[in-house]
Amino acid sequence: MQCQGAATSLVKTGQPSAYANLLIVIYQLNLLKLCENVKTERELPPLMTGDGYACKNFSYKDQIFSLHGGIMIDLDTPDPVPMDAELAECYDEFIQSAQVKNNKALDPNLPAQEAYEMPVVEVNGKRFYMMKIDFDTYYPQNPKKPKWLEAEFDRIAELRPKKLPIQEPQMMDVYKKIFGYRRALKFKNIPAGLKVAAQRGLVSIFSELSRKSQMSQLMKQDEYGLSLIHHAAMNNRPQIIAKLILQSMDVNARRNQSVLSIGPTALHLAARCGSLDAVACLCANYANILVIDHNGWAPIHQAAFYNHVPVIKMLVRKHNTLLELITQNEEKNTPMLLAASSGALESVCCLISLGAELLRTNEKQQNLIHLATLRFHTNVLDYFICNVHPGISVWTVLVSMLNDPDYIMQDSAVRCMETLSLANKEYWKAIRDYKGIPALVKLLQSNRPDIQSVAASVLCNISEEDDIRAGLAACGACKILIDLLSSPQDEIQSRAAIIMSDVACVGDNQIELARLGAIPPLITLLESELEDVLVNSVNALRVLGAHNKENQTEIAETGALIPLVEFLSVHDSDILQAAASAALAAICANHEENQNKVREANAIEPLVRLIEARNMTVQVKASSAIEALCTDNSVNQSAFLDYEAPRFLIRLLKIWSTVVKEQGACALWAIAGHTKPHSC
């Protein structure tokens, strides 16, 4: 912007500058003052906009949801920036055009209009609003110069309220309206009345009570060590703060004020609570923005940690050095590190836009990824995964923390990785590429069950991918998983069975697991009382026995058939019935000896009953078991005919699901395989 007796403010269309915003706010406030029937805040309708409505009383990001909860207006403005060369070339032309527009608007001979259109110019494909404002030199004297300023001051003096002090009955009426009769009686006491007036912003009541009080009473602190200026700062009451400062209140008064006190000041509390107006008022009255509290934090640290973006912007505009201000404690954190450690993602984004350094570390050599991980703020981690910044690698830090000998580092990293692997199914690729599989397998051998359980959970989330399964086998996970089946923790047993069933699906792992002795501990788990453990163990046996005659024989000889048949009759678990049926189908497929053993274990009747069930998954799995038992086995075919299995299988052909129809037809074909008369 250039100023030569006159200035032109150029504002890009669709993105009004802070100067324009301030002018609009002043204009709107003047309209409210001049309006004859001004409605109070409670009488105005709530303002709700956007799809991201989340809170009824406070603003959320860039959207305002309710006027009743108050609106924060950023009163400060950014520093002016130099004018672009293209705009500078057209400066004189813009001045003339704007002057012509101003002359027309101010011409007394022309009729006044309700609204005046602001001229728009286009430069290099960008459109700008154009406005000309004439500046005069201000002289601090009486009478004021120039003349228009003197007229404004006279008008303001006339508008000053000339009301008598509020009387006690009127104060009681206000108290009763806000708090009810019983609570209102408590505020007859002057200290209590001052405190509630400072908290609620009851300016007229506060003015009257402060006139009756000595300065020592206004500075007196309550049982929490808070004085009136602290309460006003926390509740965003700049009018109360201004009145206290006019009465010589120390703007840097600390909580628990004493000679050696290092408690927070009013500015600390305002920044912590996000009281933007209070922060602006305190800064305007020369509050110390570098003073530290008992934690070694300045106000900027409070604002960053508690995710108050408007306060951060205002403080940084006041002093740009605050952006990298280090806490005066043993950790030596910057605002960026504190924001990451508290999960304040909006503060992190704001600090990045303001130019904060991302690669800074604290005294413990921990960067923002370390701190976010240690406090389990996966929203910050996910942001840096999706938004690449030079030098910031989330997965590198997570894997290094998995390999760290410190338990806290391992626990934090593996828990964050568990959440991330659930949040995005594609993150398995990053875990693979950054060598996370060996680190997770190593944690399965930890002597801490909680670490083992979470590491197994991460692997469960990603073990559906063939690359992960192959990577687990290459890291020697098979033997470790077998050992985990004997863990005293049910959760670890269940997750180990899941991973084992996935690993067995690729390569020669099915044979390798059986060679290492995976079948006996899986059959031992069939005695568990937890459904998850039973279902996952049965599924693992199914995968180990599928298309492998040696494993089928071992499973049967080790004693798995009887409990599997018993599971067919468990009435309160459709999942277990379906899993047991599928396991029997895999174990008996093309294995005549196992087919006969299952028949002898009285599995015919419960399988037929399962076909009558209403659960289609159970029906399909039971039909597959019947097909496996009857294939090339005339004795079993006859047994199923005795229980009228075809009658129930025919019903499956009438169900809408193609899968159920197909499996029902296959089971019928298997039963019919050797029942035709030999003469035909």
Instruction: Encode pLDDT of 625-639 as tens digits.
Output: 999 999 988 899 898
Looking at the structure, tell me whether residues 542 and 580 fall in a common domain.
no
CB 650 within 8 A of CB 657: no
Mean pLDDT within 560-569: 93
Of the two residues 9 and 620, the one the predictor is more confident about is: 620
Looking at the structure, tell me whether residues 478 and 546 fall in a common domain.
yes
Looking at the structure, tell me whether residues 570 and 536 fall in a common domain.
no
Looking at the structure, tell me whether residues 601 and 537 fall in a common domain.
no
59 pLDDT exceeds 50?
no
Return all residues near 41 (Cβ < 8 A) that are at least 6 apart: 67, 68
Instruction: Encode pLDDT of 239-270 as tens digits.
Output: 999 999 988 899 999 888 665 678 899 999 99
127: tokens are: 């459109």
Looking at the structure, tell me whether residues 531 and 591 fall in a common domain.
no
Mean pLDDT within 520-526: 94
Which residues in 270-298 are b (16+ Cβ under 10 Å) and which e? bbbbbbbbbbbbbbbbebebebbbeebbb
- Domain assignment present for residue 110? The answer is yes
Looking at the structure, tell me whether residues 498 and 521 fall in a common domain.
yes
Instruction: Encode pLDDT of 467-500 as tens digits.
Output: 999 999 999 999 999 999 999 999 999 999 999 9
Number of helices (H), then strands (E), belonging to the chain: the values are 39, 3
Of the two residues 340 and 181, the one the predictor is more confident about is: 340
User: Which 8-state DSSP code applies to residue 81?
Assistant: -
CB 456 within 8 A of CB 484: yes
Which residues in 386-424 are b (16+ Cβ under 10 Å) and which e? eeeeeebbbbebbbbbbeeeeeebbbbbbbbbbbbbeee
- Domain assignment present for residue 88? The answer is yes
Looking at the structure, tell me whether residues 516 and 613 fall in a common domain.
no
- Domain assignment present for residue 410? The answer is no
- Domain range spanning residue 498? 463-553
Query: Domain boundary at 529, 553, 577, which?
Result: 553
Instruction: Encode pLDDT of 65-114 as tens digits.
Output: 444 444 445 555 566 777 778 878 888 888 888 888 888 888 888 888 87
Mean pLDDT within 118-137: 79
Gap between the Cα atoms of 62 and 74, Å rounded = 12
Query: Domain boundary at 108, 134, 160, which?
Result: 134
133 pLDDT exceeds 90?
no
* Residue 231, helix vs strand vs coil: helix
Gap between the Cα atoms of 241 and 199, Å rounded = 11
226 pLDDT exceeds 60?
yes
What pLDDT score was predicted for residue 259?
55
Return all residues near 167 (Cβ < 8 A) that are at least 6 apart: none
Categorize the per-residue pLDDT at 35 as very low, low, confident or very high, splitting at 50, 70 and 90: very low
* Residue 123, helix vs strand vs coil: strand
The CATH code of the domain that includes 577 is 1.25.10.10
What pLDDT score was predicted for residue 490?
94
Mean pLDDT within 502-530: 92
- Domain assignment present for residue 346? The answer is no
What pLDDT score was predicted for residue 139?
67
- Domain assignment present for residue 61? The answer is yes
How far CA 525 is from CA of 373, 450, 489, 528, 567, in Å, comes to 35, 20, 12, 5, 13
Query: Domain boundary at 495, 527, 553, which?
Result: 553
Looking at the structure, tell me whether residues 15 and 55 fall in a common domain.
yes
What pLDDT score was predicted for residue 140?
67
Of the two residues 202 and 52, the one the predictor is more confident about is: 202
Return all residues near 82 (Cβ < 8 A) that are at least 6 apart: none
Looking at the structure, tell me whether residues 548 and 579 fall in a common domain.
no
| Number of domains within the chain | 3
357 pLDDT exceeds 80?
yes
User: Mean pLDDT in the chain?
Assistant: 83
3-state helix, strand, coil split of the chain in percent (to 5) is 60, 5, 35
Q: Tell me the percentage of the chain whose pLDDT exceeds 90.
A: 53
- Domain assignment present for residue 642? The answer is yes
Instruction: Encode pLDDT of 394-445 as tens digits.
Output: 999 999 999 999 999 999 999 999 999 999 999 999 999 999 999 999 999 9
How far CA 42 is from CA of 32, 39, 69, 579, 647, in Å, comes to 15, 8, 9, 61, 72
- Domain assignment present for residue 406? The answer is no
R_g over Cα of the chain = 38
